[in-house]
Amino acid sequence: MHAIGVDIGGTKIAVGVVDEAGRILAKVRRDTAADDVASIDRAIADACTELAREHEVGAIGLAAAGFVSPDRSSVLFAPNIAWREYPLAQRVGDLLDVDVPVVVENDANAAGWAEFRFGAAHDATDMIMLTVGTGLGGAVVVDRELVRGKWGVAAEVGHMRVVPGGHYCGCGHEGCWEQYASGSALVRDARQAAVANPDAARRLVELAGGDREDIQGPHVTQAAQEGDPLAIELLATLGRWIGEGAASVAALLDPELFVIGGGVGAAGDLLLLPVRKAYEAQLSALGHRPVAQIELAKHGNEAGIVGAADLARR
Amino acid sequence: MHAIGVDIGGTKIAVGVVDEAGRILAKVRRDTAADDVASIDRAIADACTELAREHEVGAIGLAAAGFVSPDRSSVLFAPNIAWREYPLAQRVGDLLDVDVPVVVENDANAAGWAEFRFGAAHDATDMIMLTVGTGLGGAVVVDRELVRGKWGVAAEVGHMRVVPGGHYCGCGHEGCWEQYASGSALVRDARQAAVANPDAARRLVELAGGDREDIQGPHVTQAAQEGDPLAIELLATLGRWIGEGAASVAALLDPELFVIGGGVGAAGDLLLLPVRKAYEAQLSALGHRPVAQIELAKHGNEAGIVGAADLARR
Amino acid sequence: MHAIGVDIGGTKIAVGVVDEAGRILAKVRRDTAADDVASIDRAIADACTELAREHEVGAIGLAAAGFVSPDRSSVLFAPNIAWREYPLAQRVGDLLDVDVPVVVENDANAAGWAEFRFGAAHDATDMIMLTVGTGLGGAVVVDRELVRGKWGVAAEVGHMRVVPGGHYCGCGHEGCWEQYASGSALVRDARQAAVANPDAARRLVELAGGDREDIQGPHVTQAAQEGDPLAIELLATLGRWIGEGAASVAALLDPELFVIGGGVGAAGDLLLLPVRKAYEAQLSALGHRPVAQIELAKHGNEAGIVGAADLARR
Amino acid sequence: MHAIGVDIGGTKIAVGVVDEAGRILAKVRRDTAADDVASIDRAIADACTELAREHEVGAIGLAAAGFVSPDRSSVLFAPNIAWREYPLAQRVGDLLDVDVPVVVENDANAAGWAEFRFGAAHDATDMIMLTVGTGLGGAVVVDRELVRGKWGVAAEVGHMRVVPGGHYCGCGHEGCWEQYASGSALVRDARQAAVANPDAARRLVELAGGDREDIQGPHVTQAAQEGDPLAIELLATLGRWIGEGAASVAALLDPELFVIGGGVGAAGDLLLLPVRKAYEAQLSALGHRPVAQIELAKHGNEAGIVGAADLARR
């Protein structure tokens, strides 16, 4: 059965028809306004209706950045869109021509599910996805099932505390993992390094156009690929935090595979080798247990569409 | 169906017949030698045979402190008994008169399962058990299923890292949660407090018979119940570490209930209130999500027997 | 001998004639522009000349926020004024009518010296001043002498690291003491608490006029004085960090007295009692050594003038 | 003037005549019993009398491991010898034939003073000595004067806290610097590494004779010199903690030189280079201030004798 997946961003939506092998057969985009939730409903319904004219679809999955109710019908809270206990599935369903089930999924869960079904984890039964972007998102698959939690808010891995008294997080707490293992952390660390040691940061500042406050993640990746020692160290530090945190997750869930997604994947082995090294160094009972694989995600930005569509038809 | 549960300790085994309501109908004990694994097999088989003469049983579950293979047949590694990739289920089965399935379970998982089925979590679908004893053990139930992990070693919550550069753990790493949230941590902290501030520790040392190195957990509990400020603070510190770590677990798994087991439960609210306070204070997205319950375990030492028996008949 | 002390701020200077008992006999102010260093020189010289007409003075001391050369002649670097290896003493001296020695002192050192000579530490021989303001400044007096360090930059207590991997500091490093023990830390913590637990922060947000981002230090102090539990806890946390860090300083320098200056002193015992408690709890070898006093500063904003004047005549 | 220096250990004393250039002209040893303080007095007096027969000496300095009163007459408390407020200078003086002043000094201060006057710091005015042995001792010289503190217990650098919630220390507190920057920490870390990763520790365990609990500091040094990656990393970790802590000390005291003493110095650049790298990486205001030198001590075991003698004649 084909299904439609919708990736709902703050200012635009991406909608695709996904086949049973996880391929996107057709795709459309719409711009939206984050503070006008009714217009988002309409944009989703329009796009789905358009695609459903050309393709027979059996289900629609909506990937939303926010807390999703465990029955997959509502968004309880979203940081960037004005949804509060919002019955998104029904609102969209009411606007559709076609009569197919509509479900809502957390976007990180959808992306993780795409990797589990059709990507880096397609051979696995127990997987943790870590999406290292602006923040640190995640998805948990246990025994082939997505773990949503009692109230739908599982897999918020970025808010596990890794440093008591550590960096403040937007959530109001100190030391959240995403303050150490995210693209934002990488950028923050790079800018701070340029304060603490301007000489070492010369290449990074140059790539940023001369102002250390303009350093971005890709500058670090580029400099590291050129062999810049500070940039290599910054990626290694990021990798170390990812790997050490992953070892804590493994203590709890014993997965066979971690999948690392997000833009930092562009750094390739400059990131991945430090992740693996730190994971192994920090894993309890090394030698008495197998060591989980750690791989980069196969899907890029379209993982949300693919995962939402596939979850909808289950 | 009745089943037999076996709790295998380092120097003795406890064996019971458990009915479908989780009640123990009969129980026997045997002494064993930790370094003679064949004698342990025989003791288990003897006790099971004895009980099976009087009770019709359909399955036998063995609760072992160690890593158990995901097919529930073998102990991969045990810290206190000389099992290394040991096919315990078959060895015991070969010695039995009766022909019933024999399975092995990790002891903390068995105890957690007893609470889930017949104890503090019997109404729950998603539960985390934290057994605060010499170490910190755990069990994870997601959507009514016990999470064993890919290789059977999930729920080793005590080895999640909570303090980088923190106290060393027997596992070789620093900052493991069980170094902060266990009876051993409580005792260690109490003894250290008696070094750092002998005046404040006077009552604790007195209860210990005069030597601070003899302070034990029950002394702390008793002193706290008498109103001793240091003892109350020590329990509050223990509770804070339990609650803060639980908030990290909740970020990952979103359970509806934490069950706190182990001897420290004797402290009651002196422990439980600080746990709850710290959990709530550290929980991300408070106000946008329900707050999990945190309760003391209902079963005591017999949880391993009950849980192993019940898991064996599934 | 009377001396003139000059407190050089970013946008204004305050100049006073100070007698041998530390009293300010006369005082004038001038506005200045931080990026026009020559105008600052002239403003200082004008004000000093004016006061010297009415009062016989034997020396002039300039208190500057920045690194001061050990010979007290130059500002090596200042964060807020465009001084870089700037011969401030000579530049001001060249513009003066009167022929008196001019020396430069770090402003925190000057303020600490005022407390040592005429304030809370006037009976002491070994003192640490901790100025808890926007940042955390300090002054060290050992055996009645101000410790300037080999290159004039001693007593930068705020940049001792207290939390590895902790909050970032403007200096480019993580975990600096001033990120935990300063007015800025208090305000940051209060605003974060309002994110993490809006209910508990209701009174603080109300005092701030409804927006948590407008919470300031005096709101915390006021709420605490009203009995607000969160505000009391925030001050206690600030006090704990001050006291615990002071215990590390005491391990190194064994002073008889800590003097706490800065605006947070307005909180009185709500701050001071937690400082003392944490200091004592964290002090090594308690019971085998005397415990240093911890007191609030006696001088307010005029400490820089008084201390600079007094240091100039030595 | 020649002077006698006495280094008082737990089970023996070493006594030497020291000339004004810091050379030891003659030396004797005596065995002692730690619990018989009168016999220690006699052993010291005997040895001094013997040496004074052959050499004209003007003063005697006693280096003691413990808290020494600021007037240099008494030992207030010693961890390894049964001194409690013990008037050591007078007791020894009463037993002497010769009439020369006798003073007591803390042994780490004495060793630091030897380096300051005749060793690695002989050109310096402001120095910090860090003695990295079983624990972490220190000595502070500010403007050519030894800093003893108000009550004689300054320079206990090992008890500055560097990790909140970190390793417990014999002093009763957590996270003391000496738990990270000492020979004991090196050995503990090596043994733990052998638990966490037995493969990597194969060479270390081999050098220790097969039992990881027998690993000692020299095994780590030897393995590192052979190129063993784990041993090199262990020394680098030790060096990092030394260097990062030194940066905190520099924030407070701005010395021109750190001198690293103790047995770990045998590792040479394998230790020293990581110390310097971490120091520079962690130093606040790098680029706006000179960077202190970090050098190995020149004196070995005899530093206590030399320093105590030289301090006695001042």
Q: Is D119 part of a structural domain of the chain?
A: no
Together in a domain, B200 and B258: yes
Cβ pairs bridging A and B (under 8 Å) = 147
> Residue B89's pLDDT is what?
97
Average pLDDT of chain B is 95
Q: Is B137 part of a structural domain of the chain?
A: yes
Residue D97 pLDDT level (bands cut at 50, 70, 90)? confident
Q: In the beta sheet, which residues pair with residue D159?
A: none
Together in a domain, D283 and D269: yes
- Interface pTM, i.e. ipTM: 0.95
Residue B285 has pLDDT above 90, yes or no: no
Together in a domain, C108 and C153: no
- C285 neighbourhood in chain D, CB within 8 Å: 67, 77, 153, 156, 159, 171
pLDDT in tens, C176-199: 999 999 999 999 999 999 998 899
Average pLDDT of chain A is 95
Mean predicted confidence (pLDDT) in D7-28: 95
> Residue B202's pLDDT is what?
96
Residue D34 has pLDDT above 90, yes or no: no
> Residue B224's pLDDT is what?
97
Nearest Cα residue to C60 out of C108, C7, C9: C7
Query: Can you give the residue range of the structural domain that contains A97?
Result: 3-114+302-312
Together in a domain, B287 and B142: yes
Distances (CA, A) of B260 to B145, B276, B296: 19, 11, 5
> Residue C74's pLDDT is what?
96
Q: How far apart are the first and last CA of chain C?
A: 10
Interface test with D, best of C288, C291, C293, C294 (most D CBs within 10 A): C288
Together in a domain, C69 and C94: yes
Q: Using the beta-carbon criterion (under 8 Å), do D195 and B180 form an inter-chain contact?
A: no
> Residue D33's pLDDT is what?
86
Residue A56 has pLDDT above 90, yes or no: yes
Q: Using the beta-carbon criterion (under 8 Å), do C153 and D254 form an inter-chain contact?
A: yes
Place of tokens 């937690």: C274
Given a contact cutoff of 8 angstroms between Cβ atoms, the answer to whether C65 and C80 are in contact is: yes
Q: Is A107 part of a structural domain of the chain?
A: yes
Together in a domain, C145 and C290: yes
Percentage of chain D surpassing pLDDT 90?
Answer: 88
Given a contact cutoff of 8 angstroms between Cβ atoms, the answer to whether C183 and C264 are in contact is: yes
Residue D139, chain C, CB below 8 Å: the answer is: no
Place of tokens 């402001």: D126
Together in a domain, C44 and C7: yes
Task: Using DSSP, state whether B168 is helix, strand or coil.
Answer: strand
- B165 neighbourhood in chain D, CB within 8 Å: 163, 166-167, 175, 180
> Residue A113's pLDDT is what?
98
Nearest to A171 among C165, C167, C195 (CB): C195
| CA atoms of D298 and D130, how far apart (whole Å) | 13
Residue D8 has pLDDT above 90, yes or no: yes
Nearest Cα residue to B96 out of B27, B132, B47, B58: B47
pLDDT tens by residue, chain C, 314 residues: 999 999 998 889 999 999 999 999 999 999 998 788 999 999 999 999 999 999 999 999 999 999 999 999 999 998 889 899 999 999 999 999 888 999 999 999 999 999 999 999 999 999 999 999 989 999 999 999 999 999 999 999 999 999 999 998 988 899 999 999 999 999 999 999 999 889 999 999 999 999 999 999 999 999 999 999 999 999 999 999 999 999 999 999 999 999 999 989 999 999 999 999 999 999 988 888 899 999 999 998 899 999 999 999 98
pLDDT in tens, A129-183: 999 998 999 999 999 999 999 999 999 999 999 999 999 898 889 999 999 999 9
Residue A53: exposure state from Cβ atoms within 10 A (0-12, 13-18, ≥19): exposed
- B192 neighbourhood in chain D, CB within 8 Å: 168, 172-174
Q: What are phi and psi of B271, to 5 degrees?
A: -100, -45
Residue D52 has pLDDT above 90, yes or no: yes
Dihedral (Cα; A279, A282, A285, A289), 10-degree rounding:
0
| CA atoms of C311 and C294, how far apart (whole Å) | 24
Nearest chain A Cα distance for residue B303, angstroms: 21
Task: Using DSSP, state whether C258 is helix, strand or coil.
Answer: strand
Strand boundaries in chain B, DSSP class E: 3-8, 12-18, 24-31, 60-64, 67-68, 75-77, 84-86, 102-106, 127-132, 136-142, 145-146, 257-261, 293-296
Given a contact cutoff of 8 angstroms between Cβ atoms, the answer to whether A110 and A83 are in contact is: no
Q: Using the beta-carbon criterion (under 8 Å), do C150 and D255 form an inter-chain contact?
A: yes
> Residue A38's pLDDT is what?
92
Residue A240, chain B, CB below 8 Å: the answer is: no
> Residue B97's pLDDT is what?
83
Q: Is D306 part of a structural domain of the chain?
A: yes
How remote is the C-alpha of A244 from its chain's centroid? 19
Together in a domain, A251 and A308: no
- C196 neighbourhood in chain A, CB within 8 Å: 171-173
> Residue C284's pLDDT is what?
87
> Residue A288's pLDDT is what?
85
Q: Is B292 part of a structural domain of the chain?
A: yes
Give me the number of domains chain C comprises.
2
Residue C5: exposure state from Cβ atoms within 10 A (0-12, 13-18, ≥19): buried
CATH number, position C66: 3.30.420.40
Length of chain A: 314
Residue B270 has pLDDT above 90, yes or no: yes
Residue B219 C-beta-side C-alpha neighbours within 13 Å: 24
Together in a domain, B81 and B159: no
Residue D190, chain B, CB below 8 Å: the answer is: no
Given a contact cutoff of 8 angstroms between Cβ atoms, the answer to whether A251 and B156 are in contact is: yes
Residue A256, chain B, CB below 8 Å: the answer is: yes
Nearest Cα residue to B199 out of B175, B228, B174, B170: B228
pTM of the model: 0.90
Given a contact cutoff of 8 angstroms between Cβ atoms, the answer to whether A306 and A299 are in contact is: yes
Residue A168, chain C, CB below 8 Å: the answer is: yes
> Residue B71's pLDDT is what?
93
C 195-224: CB under 8 A from A: 195-197
| CA atoms of C260 and C108, how far apart (whole Å) | 12
| CA atoms of B92 and B30, how far apart (whole Å) | 15
pLDDT in tens, B199-252: 999 999 999 999 999 999 999 999 999 999 999 999 999 999 999 999 999 999
> Residue D10's pLDDT is what?
82
> Residue C9's pLDDT is what?
87
Residue A284 has pLDDT above 90, yes or no: no
Q: Is A119 part of a structural domain of the chain?
A: no
Together in a domain, A171 and A292: yes
Residue D287 pLDDT level (bands cut at 50, 70, 90)? confident
Q: Using the beta-carbon criterion (under 8 Å), do D125 and C155 form an inter-chain contact?
A: no
Neighbours of A, requiring at least 3 CB pairs below 8 Å, are B, C, D
> Residue B284's pLDDT is what?
87
Given a contact cutoff of 8 angstroms between Cβ atoms, the answer to whether D29 and D313 are in contact is: no
Mean predicted confidence (pLDDT) in D51-67: 95
> Residue A20's pLDDT is what?
96
pLDDT in tens, A89-109: 999 999 998 899 999 999 999
Together in a domain, C285 and C218: yes
- A285 neighbourhood in chain B, CB within 8 Å: 67, 77, 153, 156, 159, 171
Give A168's DSSP letter. Answer: B
> Residue C177's pLDDT is what?
97
> Residue C286's pLDDT is what?
84
> Residue B33's pLDDT is what?
86
Together in a domain, A110 and A174: no
